Amino acid sequence: MGQRIRIIGAPMDYGADRRGVDMGPSAIRYAGLADGLSRAGVDPIDAGDLSIPRAEERDPDAKQPSRGNAKFLREVEDVCTRLADHVEQTLADGEFPLVLGGDHSVAIGSMQGSSRDADLGAIWFDAHADLNTPETSPSGNVHGMPLAATLGRGTFGDQAWATAPNVREGSIAYVGLRSIDDRERKLLRDSEMTAFTMADIDKQGMTSVVETALDVATTDTDGVHVSLDLDWLDPKTAPGVGTPVRGGVTYREAHAALETVSRRHESGDILRSMDVVEVNPILDEGNETATLAAELAASTFGKRIL
């Protein structure tokens, strides 16, 4: 077999209002993740799930930031700190960390751990910008804040567990944005991040957009983190997500995007870590979204029709 892929489950749903994404890792595994990765030519090693108490057993307001509102911040910090340690150890062992969420706040831990001893670029496959902070978020849901946390925006700048100093704005590229708050829009325009909307994909084509995003994420970095939120896809294709937005990526576009990432990786060993998040089996139809998540992970590591 080829590269060893360590599957790390992070069944956390503290970051979202709607319960259910804590079952995402199990659903993705059940959909054939390990078999798909094996057929792609890599060696999957399942490390199991982090132990995470149910949200119903915790107080969402037990800890609050110095400014603003962030629900379950104590619990998110605990999970992301442990996840970051797992990701760091996985890389030290010469394996690739594939994190299964849970809501998108797990990406705080994924990126923190992946960037502790490396300059990290990132490609954010998502309908949303995830740039809110506790001061700006209307909901206080941390799954809308992971990139703000990673970059140390707002009150996150005082929280070492959340920030990743080796991740620079100029090495981050969004692919497929279509739902952005007014404040996030201004932040993006004023930042060094590269953002491709669905309109850009319509004009330029998915492969061209992803190639440019890869150029951004690989310039002056030691590797790339891929963050794949299943609400990136159109809800007709991926119904099992908590924050669906119409007009998303099609099934074929999604595979083309991840196959483009895979080809670049094969030519230059660029990938360092990945998370697959926001699969909600309660809202899914016949485990369709989890199956797609497993397929896209396999495409990222080389599964092809020919």
Q: Active-site residue among 22, 234, 278, 284?
A: 278
54: Cβ contacts below 8 Å, ≥ 6 apart: 22
Return the structure tokens found at 109: 């831990």
Is 117 annotated as catalytic?
A: no
3-state helix, strand, coil in the chain (%, to 5): 40, 20, 40
Return the structure tokens found at 123: 């490609």
Q: Active-site residue among 75, 77, 88, 231?
A: 231
Q: Active-site residue among 49, 88, 103, 229?
A: 229
Is 128 annotated as catalytic?
A: yes
Q: Active-site residue among 128, 225, 255, 265?
A: 128
Is 231 annotated as catalytic?
A: yes
270 touches 281 (CB < 8 A): no
Is 126 annotated as catalytic?
A: yes
Please choose, from the candidates 150, 173, 153, 170, the residue with its C-alpha nearest in 3D space to the C-alpha of residue 161: 150
Helical pair 288-300 and 251-268, crossing angle rounded to 10 deg: 30
Is 85 annotated as catalytic?
A: no
Q: Active-site residue among 22, 75, 86, 104?
A: 104
Rounded Cα distance, 290 and 296, in Å: 10
Q: Active-site residue among 13, 77, 130, 259?
A: 130
Return the structure tokens found at 197: 């909307």
Please choose, from the candidates 62, 166, 71, 81, the residue with its C-alpha nearest in 3D space to the C-alpha of residue 116: 166
CA max distance for the chain: 54
Is 43 annotated as catalytic?
A: no
Q: Active-site residue among 103, 126, 200, 295?
A: 126
Q: Where are the beta strands (DSSP E) in the chain?
A: 4-10, 43-49, 96-101, 120-125, 167-177, 194-197, 223-229, 271-277
Cα 275 to Cα 61, 108, 135, 192: the distances in Å are: 27, 10, 26, 23
Is 49 annotated as catalytic?
A: no
Rounded Cα distance, 142 and 137, in Å: 9
Q: Active-site residue among 143, 225, 255, 265?
A: 143
Catalytic residues: 104, 126, 128, 130, 143, 229, 231, 278
